[in-house]
Amino acid sequence: MAYRVIVIEDDQNTLDDIVAMLRRSPDFTVSATYKSAHAAINPAAMFHPDLFLANIEDEETLNMMPDFVDKFPGAYMLGTMSQWDPLAAQKAMEGGATGCILKPFTAKEILEYLQLYSARGQRKPPKLISFFSPKGRAGRTTLAAILALLIAEKTGERVALIDADLQFGDLPIFFDLEPNRTVVDATQDIKLLTPVSFAPYFYPIKDGVSLLSSPDRPEYAELVAPESLTEVVMMAGNIFRYVLVDLPSGFNPVTLNICRISNVVFVTTMINSGFEVKHAKKAMEMFEQQDDGRRKVYTVFTRVNPFTEENRQKIADQLSYPVDVMIPNEYKMISVANSGRLAKGLPMDTLLMKTISDMADKIIASGR
């Protein structure tokens, strides 16, 4: 059965083009067209629409997205725009839109977008989660990878892993991949990309989890403009319900930019000499200085030994911040990561996996 479509478009020529295109396609019937969202919201109900194509370059239409979602919960809402605007796309998703599509588009493209956005998961804004560590060697990458696998398994929604550790990213080796396209290519191309053309930059690792790889030469990192990487991460949020970003160590323009747009930042630390707690404290203070109330920063300690509440308190006292997550050691993890079997060989019946699984549950339950 064909989709019953309502088109909201204030530009007459664009409207004519869209209508003509839809009429040529057996997959769509045009139920009605409106110049503005206000004109559409009440009468549209008469047509039992399945799909809205609404020009969100018009501010009022963008603002009314939640009203349409309320009134037509069963219909797909595609925001249309002639240039990809990450902030407008984000606002549309926050308003409950299915996603956005770039004008001009064909009937086939509408179907592609609908398929991509349906696979993404719940029609809610993405959860952007970044993994920070002060100096590295903190278990940050391993944690991000395991969480990605667990969240996808538990929710059935799509999860992206983005390796933003541009010089020495380890995610491709953890999953035994040799990708042709990397995050560097994505940042170079981002101005020309749409969600549909961006999706193939990701490599499927396992059901629902895809990786955007780091480059294989450290100097390529210099080709990445931090602002472009921010756009890459934001666009990933249109295709994936969860976007997990593995950051380079320490503070630099990349980490600060990505943390700024993240919903959650995990400051990951592994205690070796003991001074790592000091570094974590310095990092937390830096995050506090940068705080604008828009993200949660949590502390995570890996390979905690002894794995006791007393030790948690001891670390917290030194840190002057709570220890939000504490993860025990598991020697099996080393050989799993060492052999590129992270997608298949996780030591499921261990305390380590149980702890990270609890962490995944909290991420899934948190926010929207």
Partner 1 sequence: MAVATPHSIERSSVIISVFSTTPGIGKTITAINLAAGLAHEGYKVCLADLDLQFGDVLNYLKLTSTNTVAGAQRALLDHPDKFHVRDFLIDYKHEGLTFSILPAPLYVYDAYQTDVQLVTDIICELNFYDYVILDLNSMFSALNLAMLDISTVINYIGVIDFLPALKNYKIGYDTLIRFEYEESKIRLVENRADSQKLIRGEDVEKLLGEPFYHRLPNDYPSVNKSINSGQPLMFAAPDSKLTKSFTELVGLYSNHNTQVAPELAAETSGGGFFSKVKGWFGF
Q: Which residues bind partner 1 (CB under 8 A)?
A: 134-137, 167-168, 170, 173-174, 216-219, 221-222, 248-252, 272-275, 278-279, 282-283, 285-286, 289, 334, 337-340
Q: In whole angstroms, give the CA distance from residue 336 to residue 322.
A: 30
Residue closer to partner 1 (CB basis): 104 or 253? 253
Q: Which is nearer to partner 1, 167 or 188 (CB)?
A: 167
**Cβ closer to partner 1: 47 or 251?**
251
Q: How far is the CB of 251 from partner 1 (least distance, A)?
A: 6
Pairing of strands 209-212, 203-206: antiparallel
Task: State the nearest-atom distance from the C-beta of 36 to partner 1, in Å.
Answer: 45
For partner 1, the closer of residues 47 and 220 by Cβ is 220
Residue (of 199, 204, 197, 158) closest to 179 by Cα position: 204
- Closest to partner 1 by CB, 161 vs 234, is 161
For residues 54 and 68, the answer to whether their CB atoms sit within 8 Å is yes
Residue 141 in tokens: 């990458």
CA 204, CA 211: separation in Å to the nearest integer? 6
Q: 149 or 271, CB closer to partner 1?
A: 271
Rounded to a whole number of angstroms, the minimum distance from the CB of residue 329 to partner 1 is 15
Instruction: Name which of 107 and 177 has its Cβ closer to partner 1.
Output: 177
For residue 300, give the nearest of 266, 275, 340, 333 by alpha carbon.
266
Q: What is the DSSP string of 291-310?
A: --SS-EEEEEEEEESS-SHH
Tell me whether residue 82 or residue 335 sits nearer to partner 1 (CB atom).
335
For tokens 């993405």, name the residue: 126
- Spatial neighbors of 301 by CB under 8 A, at least 6 apart, are 268, 269, 270, 271, 280, 315, 323, 325, 326, 327
CB of residue 46 vs partner 1: minimum separation in angstroms?
58
Residues 6+ apart with CB under 8 A from 172: 163, 178, 179, 211, 213, 214, 216
In the bound complex, what is the minimum distance in angstroms from residue 362's beta carbon to partner 1?
Answer: 27
Whose Cβ is closer to partner 1: residue 136's or residue 328's?
136
Q: Give the nearest distance from C-beta 42 to partner 1 in angstroms.
A: 54
Sheet strands (E) in the chain: 3-8, 28-34, 51-55, 76-81, 99-102, 127-132, 159-163, 203-206, 209-212, 242-246, 264-270, 296-304, 325-328
CB of 127 to partner 1, least distance (A): 27
- DSSP H helical ranges for 209-350: 226-239, 253-261, 276-289, 309-319, 332-338
Tokens of 332: 């099996």
- Nearest distance from residue 293's CB to partner 1, in Å? 19
The amino acid at residue 325 is V
